[in-house]
Amino acid sequence: MINLVSISKSYRQGNENYKALHEISLTIQAGEFVAIMGPSGSGKSTLINIIGFLDNNFDGQYNFNDTVVNNLNRRDHARLRNQSVGFVFQNFKLIRNQSVGENVGLPLLYAGLKRRDIIARVNDVLEQVGLPGSYDKLPKNLSGGQQQRVAIARAIVTKPNFLVADEPTGALDSATSREIMALFKELNQHGTTVIMVTHDENVARQTNRLIKILDGRLQSDMEVEHADS
Ligand code: ADP
Ligand code: ADP
């Protein structure tokens, strides 16, 4: 599904060019559950911004299914992003003065769905993330873990090809973090492709594939071993 061929990315820093990614080649198939780890400044955000169709200014080739992403104009790139990716962030990024249901339904509103269809789909997805009957609640009345479930519901509501999650457990205590990882695992087992950035070894170990990057280069890429349970 995702095929990066020798991707490099430089940023202008003052009068210098700083190379944040060095010839990254990487393939991620539909259905995978991937963690990307690396120290601060190693290029994780730069990489997932490219993968998630937020940044189309890089060297190398990005093939997404049959599309050569780096050849797309700005409008088609944005369309691909809206149709193909769901984003989950460390700090949830919910709209405070809108209900849970309005937050989750927003991508469907942008996609032009009818109100009745939006409400039905939102209620389905809220049930899927373990928050049945929460449509009319306000985010501030939910725990951190529940707010992240709302954010995950918003990310999956359009049935994207893959999720990009940037430190999704970074603001959660370890018990809540395990619950959120269990939810990602369940979504993955039902077919959702998940690409997650994390600093946390315990989080990374719950995925199926661990990619480590260091100084903008792939350091290792390995299958995660799970004890049978
Ligand atoms: P990480 O997500 O692993 O912390 P980033 O991808 O954010 O790493 O950053 C990688 C490197 O690129 C860092 O040295 C960072 O300072 C630099 N960088 C990131 N974004 C920019 C930018 N917009 N302009 C200049 N330098 C940047
Ligand atoms: P994270 O590591 O979680 O991505 P950062 O604080 O490193 O968060 O970066 C936040 C934002 O600042 C990103 O959009 C990144 O591209 C940008 N950024 C990071 N480093 C620099 C830099 N040296 N110059 C300009 N922008 C930067």
Tokens of 155: 């990310």
Q: Which residues pair with 35 in a beta bridge?
A: 196, 210
Atom of ligand 2 nearest to the CA of 197: 3
ipTM associated with this complex: 0.75
Length of the chain: 229
Torsion region of 191: left, alpha or beta (phi above 0 gives left; psi -120 to 50 gives alpha): left
Question: For residue 25, which amino acid is it?
Answer: S
The pLDDT of residue 132 is 97
Tens-of-pLDDT digits for all 229 residues of the chain? Answer: 999 999 999 999 999 999 999 999 999 999 999 999 999 999 999 999 999 999 999 999 999 999 999 999 999 999 999 999 999 999 999 999 999 999 999 999 999 999 999 999 999 999 999 999 999 999 999 999 999 999 999 999 999 999 999 999 999 999 999 999 999 999 999 999 999 999 899 999 999 999 999 999 999 999 999 876 5
Give the binding-site residues of ligand 2, using a 6 Å CB cut-off.
13, 40, 45
Distance 20 CA to ligand 1 centre (A): 6
- Report the 3 state secondary structure along 84-140: HEEEECCCCCCCCCCCHHHHHHHHHHHCCCCHHHHHHHHHHHHHHCCCCCCCCCCHH
Q: Measuring from atom 4 of ligand 2, which residue has the nearest CA?
A: 45
User: Which of 11, 45, 167 for a ligand 2 pocket mutation test, highest count of atoms within 8 Å of Cβ?
Assistant: 45
Distance 38 CA to ligand 2 centre (A): 15
Query: Phi and psi dihedrals of 206, rounded to 5?
Result: -90, -5
Q: Measuring from atom 8 of ligand 2, which residue has the nearest CA?
A: 45
Q: How many angstroms separate the Cα of 77 from the Cα of each of 85, 103, 227?
A: 12, 24, 40
Domains belonging to the chain, first-starting first, are 31-55+82-223 (3.40.50.300)
Let me know: does 211 contact 51? Beta carbons within 8 Å: no
- Residue listed under structure tokens 């690409």: 195
Atom of ligand 2 nearest to the CA of 18: 23
The pLDDT of residue 226 is 87
Atom of ligand 1 nearest to the CA of 49: 6
The separation between the first and the last C-alpha atoms of the chain, rounded to the nearest angstrom, is: 30
Distance 58 CA to ligand 1 centre (A): 14
- Residue listed under structure tokens 């989750």: 104
Burial of 227 (C-beta count, 10 Å sphere; 0-12/13-18/19+): exposed
Q: How many other C-beta atoms can be found within 10 angstroms of the C-beta atom of residue 7?
A: 21
pTM above 0.95, yes or no: no
Distance 45 CA to ligand 2 centre (A): 8
Q: What is the C-alpha separation between 208 and 49, in angstroms, rounded? A: 21
Give the binding-site residues of ligand 1, using a 6 Å CB cut-off.
11, 13, 18, 20, 38, 40-46
Q: What are the helix and strand counts (H, E) for the chain?
A: 7, 10
- Residue listed under structure tokens 């599904």: 1
Q: What is the C-alpha separation between 5 and 199, in angstroms, rounded? A: 25
The pLDDT of residue 186 is 96
Tokens of 183: 């939810």
Distance 46 CA to ligand 2 centre (A): 9
Distance 87 CA to ligand 1 centre (A): 19
